[in-house]
Chains A and B, each alone.
Chain A
Amino acid sequence: MGIFDHEFMLRALLGALVTGLIAPALGTYLVQRRLALIGDGIGHVALTGVGLGLLTSTSPVLTAVVVAAVGAIAVELVRERGRTSGDVALALLFYGGISGGVFLVALSANKTNANLIAYLFGSPLTTSRADLAVMAVLGALVLAVTLLLRPWLFAVCHDEEHARVSGLPVRALNLTLAVTTAVTVTVAMRAVGLLLVSALMVVPVAAAQQVTRGFRATMHLAMGIGVVAAGAGIWIAGTFDTAPGATIVLVAIAGFFALAVGSGVWRAWHRAAAGTRRGAVTEAEPPEVVLQR
């Protein structure tokens, strides 16, 4: 397996592994809150940041972080105010974000030879040393927030009202989560692209849930699945010359189906085994609830 002898492949692998580790860590909170698709929207908004960066010849990663963070805070404020008309506001923001991005990238086309497709669908093979350094720093930040603040973020995402009555700094925690989402999207941009970011935040979590019982276990397993999918995806892409970002996501989805089928078979087998052990005359458990009518 000589593909990782090339330095650019090694850099691609490292960048993808960082992404595979942090995207599900953050995604666990989004899935818990039933906001699985918010990462997708923030990815749309980040494209405007990329366009701004290319147009002004500043680092697109830096401008993407800033614009995505502003977008994520806006989303959080919409969410906080209640649901009414919220989804229309979000649609304006997301489609404004992606249109603005495409518009700005096109404007800057004569200045740079940046490829829109690379930002939308990822281009891990072009990861530079500088990119890798930025990803490592931002990735460490995301890990610190998602792991160290886990009990507090869990409490807020699980039951916001109760967290408020507990005296937790609900708003500060929500905004922290929003900004961290933006940072995660930007880190993942290189490996899987802005349109596939959300997949790496959600699919490993959905896969992990097939076999886990608790929140912490789900988060850790999802991070493991994310890392494996990222590593395997880059290897497949390098070996068979497929699109890396899409390959990573497809591997993660395959993992989801493998775990779903596996756990289903395991449960069915377990039930059958338990049934034969107890024999045919198993008494029904007394009902938990006495029905009146």
Chain B
Amino acid sequence: MTAPPVVEIEDAVVAYGGRVALDHVSLAVTRGEVLAVLGANGSGKSTLIRAALGLVPLAAGRVRLFGTGTARRSSHVWRRIGYVPQRLGAGSGVPATVHEVVSSGRLARRGLLRPARTRDRAAVRAALAAVGLADRAADPVSALSGGQQQRTLIARALASEPELLVLDEPTAGVDAASQEAFASALDDFVRGGGTAVLVAHELGPLEPLVNRAVVIHYGKVVHDGPVPPPAGHHASPGHDHVHPHADTAETGMWS
């Protein structure tokens, strides 16, 4: 008997107040795959991964992660998943150090009220090193650049030593140095046998790592296979496309 797919989405429908964001989408991701979910803003690509994680309810269909449905998922399943949201949450009314934020990712592996063990501390250190922020551990997150904050969130996901990484626009609005740091962290993760699903506007330095791409258009899968070649001015040689801000309007294949 073979292991179930890491991610299994069957006929999923998500609607926001009558507007269909995800229209009968089916998708399976197997172990070791690095899947890029591509699409324009508002195409439903973020909704797809949020539905997979159970963060938005399904109107119809079914989602399984590691062979388990959302309702039955215990902490033993959740700890195998590392989630990297698009940006830091709203809870920043009080300063928090990089180390504190990354450590919170380790709690999935640490039982409630259990003190951190040597192994927990080592995992947090390793996650910080993997994204190149070991020397910033004691700094407040708010003092970091956007790219460094994004790397903090990736380290937080890596701290639980997940088998599946789910990343929502990890490179949007991220400086080139952080994109490289992120690509190498993802490369290490995949070499270690990890599976990754990432939503992206464009791949940049991540492209060599991605071995499958799905394009979402108006809530439907319109392409599933190798990464499609870029079009428009993105394709021109020497085109150094760095997005300083996530919400800058732009033209290109995915827009």
Binding site for B on A (CB under 8 A): 28, 31-34, 36, 148-149, 151-152, 154-155, 157-169, 205, 209, 212-216, 218-219, 288-292
B74 in the interface, Cβ–Cβ < 8 Å?
yes
Measured between alpha carbons, how far is A28 from B92 in the docked complex, in Å?
11
Is the pair A288, B177 in contact by a Cβ cutoff of 8 Å? yes
- Closest residue of chain A to B178 (Cβ to Cβ) is A288
List A contacts of B160 (CB < 8 A).
Answer: 166
List B contacts of A219 (CB < 8 A).
Answer: 94
Is the pair B93, A34 in contact by a Cβ cutoff of 8 Å? yes
Measured between alpha carbons, how far is A289 from B177 in the docked complex, in Å?
9
Is the pair A151, B107 in contact by a Cβ cutoff of 8 Å? yes
B242 in the interface, Cβ–Cβ < 8 Å?
yes
Known: A165-B53, A214-B96, A214-B140. A290 touches B175 (CB 8 A): yes
CB contact between B73 and one of A32, A36, A163, A167 (< 8 Å): that residue: A167
A-B contact pairs, 15 of them (CB 8 A): A32-B94, A32-B96, A33-B91, A34-B93, A151-B107, A158-B104, A161-B89, A162-B89, A163-B107, A165-B53, A166-B79, A213-B95, A214-B100, A215-B96, A289-B146
List A contacts of B74 (CB < 8 A).
Answer: 167
A148 → chain B closest CB, angstroms? 6
Measured between alpha carbons, how far is A216 from B241 in the docked complex, in Å?
39
Binding site for A on B (CB under 8 A): 53-55, 73-75, 77-79, 81, 83, 85, 88-97, 99-101, 103-105, 107-108, 110, 112-113, 116, 138-140, 143, 145-147, 156, 160, 175-177, 240-242, 244
Is the pair A155, B78 in contact by a Cβ cutoff of 8 Å? no
Sorted nearest first, the 6 A-B pairs with minimum C-beta distance are: A167-B78, A159-B89, A167-B75, A214-B97, A155-B104, A166-B108
List A contacts of B107 (CB < 8 A).
Answer: 151-152, 155, 163, 166, 168
Known: A151-B103, A167-B79, A213-B95. A288 touches B147 (CB 8 A): yes
B113 → chain A closest CB, angstroms? 6
Measured between alpha carbons, how far is A205 from B149 in the docked complex, in Å?
24
Measured between alpha carbons, how far is A160 from B92 in the docked complex, in Å?
12
Is the pair A215, B100 in contact by a Cβ cutoff of 8 Å? yes
List A contacts of B93 (CB < 8 A).
Answer: 31-34, 36
Measured between alpha carbons, how far is A211 from B112 in the docked complex, in Å?
31
List B contacts of A161 (CB < 8 A).
Answer: 55, 83, 85, 89
Measured between alpha carbons, how far is A155 from B55 in the docked complex, in Å?
17
Known: A34-B90, A34-B91. A213 touches B104 (CB 8 A): no
Measured between alpha carbons, how far is A152 from B177 in the docked complex, in Å?
32
List A contacts of B241 (CB < 8 A).
Answer: 292
Measured between alpha carbons, how far is A34 from B93 in the docked complex, in Å?
6
List B contacts of A205 (CB < 8 A).
Answer: 94
List B contacts of A149 (CB < 8 A).
Answer: 113
List A contacts of B83 (CB < 8 A).
Answer: 161-162, 165-166
Measured between alpha carbons, how far is A212 from B55 in the docked complex, in Å?
33
Is the pair B88, A209 in contact by a Cβ cutoff of 8 Å? no
Measured between alpha carbons, how far is A167 from B143 in the docked complex, in Å?
29
Is the pair A166, B94 in contact by a Cβ cutoff of 8 Å? no
List A contacts of B143 (CB < 8 A).
Answer: 213
List A contacts of B140 (CB < 8 A).
Answer: 213-214
- Closest residue of chain B to A36 (Cβ to Cβ) is B93
Measured between alpha carbons, how far is A79 from B200 in the docked complex, in Å?
31
